[in-house]
Amino acid sequence: MKRKVLLIYTGGTIGMEKDYTTGSLVPFDFSTIFKRIPEMNLLECEVSVHPFENPVDSSDMGPQEWRMIAEWIHKNYNAFDGFLILHGTDTMSYTASALSFMLKNLGKPVILTGSQLPIGDLRTDAKENLLTSLYYASLYENDEAVIKEVAVYFEYKLLRGNRSLKYSAEFFDAYQSPNYPILGQSGVHLNIEKDLLWKPKGEFELDLYLNEKVIFYRIFPGMNFESLLEFKTPEAIVLQVFGSGTIFNNEKTQNILQELRNRGIEIVVISQCVSGGISFGKYSNSNIFTKIGAISGKDMTAEAAITKVMHILNNPKYDKSFSELFSENISGEVTEDF
């Protein structure tokens, strides 16, 4: 029996072609994808295509589009064995991270992929990314899905979605998972590391809650730190600091952070370093965060930390405090004993 995969095209380079009159990239009719990539007809899965009515550039993707994707997966969950989302590369890690929190306890694969070059380009990476992603989205053993989480496939590597980040705008090998091993790799054989895969803890459930009153703030030497107090509406701030958790060691910094906490604003601290993460107390300049009750983001990516905060912040479906929830490993986004 062939497995059924729903392919959701949201937009992005992978669905573009060059207009040789203007030299610009324009979307093509995605219903013609089987003619453009006839190899899709040779796969051992049935593919149904659901394109966005109006394809969205990845820089325009946000909570509204994340909810649309999550709702469509939920609506079609019982009709398909796996899901493939074609997405622009610039914000794909944000979408993957958000979906990992909204689609709770997945029992089926949700794979995201895109490309650096359009499908029609002679040197495109789109075909391999698309075809291998379909393989992973339809991978079953003993009538059970092998992958039960949101993952990103790009340039021969399968990555946990909420551990991925885009690090190159130029190379085909554009994505990394710096703090978690890759889940699988394609070469002559298509491999998967089953021991590294996420295991659901209950029944599949949809939770579309996202709180958009979140600020992301990166510190730098010599900055006017008082500008943080000028934000009037945030309910949480994701603060990206130096190294393993250091910030300016002075009374003004502590007073500003304490004032934010007095306003009821949650503060989550993540590192500017791509690899590694936050360790309060390692250096004295990180002790300030313990004093004011900030929360360590440990080794989470910025994309995962931001979308996790959006999802759990005052979410009525949770009965734990924000700090308790953020410290939990909800869907494999953080190393628990970091």
Residues known to be catalytic: 13
Strands (E), the chain: 3-9, 16-18, 25-27, 45-51, 82-86, 103-104, 110-113, 140-141, 144-145, 150-154, 157-160, 165-166, 175-176, 184-186, 190-192, 205-206, 214-218, 236-241, 266-271, 295-296
CB atoms within 10 A of CB 78: 8
SS3 125: coil
SS3 275: coil
Distance CA 307, CA 294 (A): 18
The gap from C-alpha 136 to its chain's centroid, in whole angstroms, comes to 18
Structure tokens at 278: 């936050």
Structure tokens at 112: 């995201």
The gap from C-alpha 195 to its chain's centroid, in whole angstroms, comes to 21
Q: Pairing mode, if any, of strands 184-186 and 157-160?
A: antiparallel
> Which helix (H) or strand (E) covers residue 134, if one does?
helix 126-137
Contacts of residue 255, defined as CB under 8 A and 6 or more positions apart, other chains included, come to none
Nearest to 311 by CA among 268, 274, 277: 268
Nearest to 206 by CA among 76, 56, 21: 76
Distance CA 253, CA 232 (A): 18
Contacts of residue 249, defined as CB under 8 A and 6 or more positions apart, other chains included, come to 284, 285, 288
Q: Are 144 and 68 in contact (CB under 8 A)?
A: no
